[in-house]
Amino acid sequence: MIEKLRTMWRRRGQMAMIDAYFRSSLYLLPWLPVLMGVAPVMSQTGGSPVPVTLAGVAMGLNLAQGALAVPLLNRALNRYLERGATPRTLLFVSGVLTLVAEIALWTLLTVKGAADKDSVSAVALAIGATLTPFFMAHSLVVSKRKFLAALAGSAAASMALLFPLTGSWLGSLGMACLLLFAGVWSFVLARPTGWLLGVIWKLDAARGTETRLAVAEERLRFGRDLHDVMGRNLAVIALKSELAVQLARRERPEAVEQMVEVQRIAQESQREVREVVRGYRKADLQAELAGARSILRAAGVDCRIEGEEGAQLPPEVESALGWVVREGTTNVLRHAVEVRRCAVRTRIDPHRSVLVMTMENDGVTSPPDGSAAGSLPGSGLKGLRERLSPLGGSLTSGLVPNGFFRLTVELPVGATSG
């Protein structure tokens, strides 16, 4: 059961895990007033039936408020993040619970009287603490100005209402300040949490947008290169073909010369296109390693690269290894449930004259696509095997005993050395 919960937790992804962490922390905060603000009142009742009943009612209502705070704050956060509507019904229920609990505490304060200073302090603290859950939710569903204006108005109204009942300006002012403190405290707890979650999700969206823009930019570059190569040649082919048609209709011998020229230009275009594609498909090993480290660290992955410093490798070997790093990085980000560590290691086995590159990462609970260890379907790694085969190389992949997923490439390099 625990392992299943851990797997479900890891599958949420880093952004969702951060979101869940901040939300759960916010859900726990309303219980602090219950435990530290309202619970001490129970010890100040003196055992009399009426005070015990009033304190019990206030305690029960605050417990219900703490349970209600989970769905209420969840929907209030969604409203703040513009992912849902205002939870009006839950907010109304929370307001009613808060009001009834306040009435019970005020009645308890009246029954106990002002003679017992400890009881008065405990009940006053409970009165302020009871307001916290409702204020936290309310601060998330309205603007800052509206919340602070409503808080100031409530403090002024409470002071004007309490003075005729207590006959003490000092006591009324103290309760108004207590209400202001509870409101500001709730605002400081809830509002920055919503703001921080909003920033985190915007950064995640920006990272996704940056990736898509990079892909689009590369496609535009490739399209521009093809246009530069083929645009002029195709225009010449079209004109010469049209000229050859006209000459052929007139039975002129120059038509053959024009078609020979068309054939020459078409062959030249074919060669130029192959060069463009070859340059596009060429992968530089050092550039790919640097790019892998950058993109994995941006995704929150601790990426370590260890290898043969200064090893002189043939260009075709470097290109093949560059593609291994590129495809391996893509698979790490695509298939791993939750990656925290990744290592790329390159070494040369002098006994076999073989270069061995391994790429390991954690966060994989089962082989991707349910494949068995040692094989991995997919066009990306299938293409890598096709690239490595002419060089005499091999590629294996699968889970290893330490729970990591390992991609291994072996390439013969002869007497290559550093």
Residue 310 has pLDDT above 50, yes or no: yes
pLDDT digit string, tens, across residues 92-120: 999 999 889 888 888 887 776 655 666 67
Region 312-317 average pLDDT:
81
pLDDT digit string, tens, across residues 326-339: 888 887 877 665 77
Task: Determine contact, residues 269/233, Cβ cutoff 8 Å.
Answer: yes
* More confident position, 18 or 9: 18
Residue length of the chain: 418
* More confident position, 193 or 109: 193
- Phi, psi dihedral angles at 394 (to 5 degrees): -140, 155
Residue 156 has pLDDT above 90, yes or no: no
Compute the distance between CA of residue 194 and CA of residue 387 in angstroms, rounded to an integer.
49
* pLDDT confidence of residue 370: 40
- Range scoring the smallest mean pLDDT among 30-39, 152-161, 232-241: 30-39
Q: How much of the chain exceeds pLDDT 70, in percent?
A: 81
Residue 358 has pLDDT above 50, yes or no: yes
* More confident position, 309 or 132: 132
Task: Determine contact, residues 51/112, Cβ cutoff 8 Å.
Answer: yes
* pLDDT confidence of residue 409: 93
Residue 165 has pLDDT above 80, yes or no: no
Confidence band for 75, pLDDT divided at 50, 70 and 90: very high
Find where tokens 């399209």 sit.
223
Confidence band for 168, pLDDT divided at 50, 70 and 90: low
Confidence band for 32, pLDDT divided at 50, 70 and 90: confident
* More confident position, 240 or 309: 240
- Token readout for 325 is 């790093």
The CB-based long-range contact list for 334-338 (8 Å cut-off, 24+ gap) reads 335/364, 335/368, 335/369, 335/405, 336/361, 336/362, 336/363, 336/364, 336/405, 337/7, 337/10, 337/11, 337/363, 337/364, 337/365, 338/10, 338/11, 338/13, 338/14, 338/17, 338/363
- Tell me what the pLDDT averaged over the chain comes to: 79
Confidence band for 46, pLDDT divided at 50, 70 and 90: low
DSSP secondary structure letters along 203-272: HHHHHHHHHHHHHHHHHHHHHHHHHHHHHHHHHHHHHHHHHHHHHHHTT-THHHHHHHHHHHHHHHHHHH
- Range scoring the smallest mean pLDDT among 8-22, 124-138, 170-184: 8-22
* pLDDT confidence of residue 109: 76
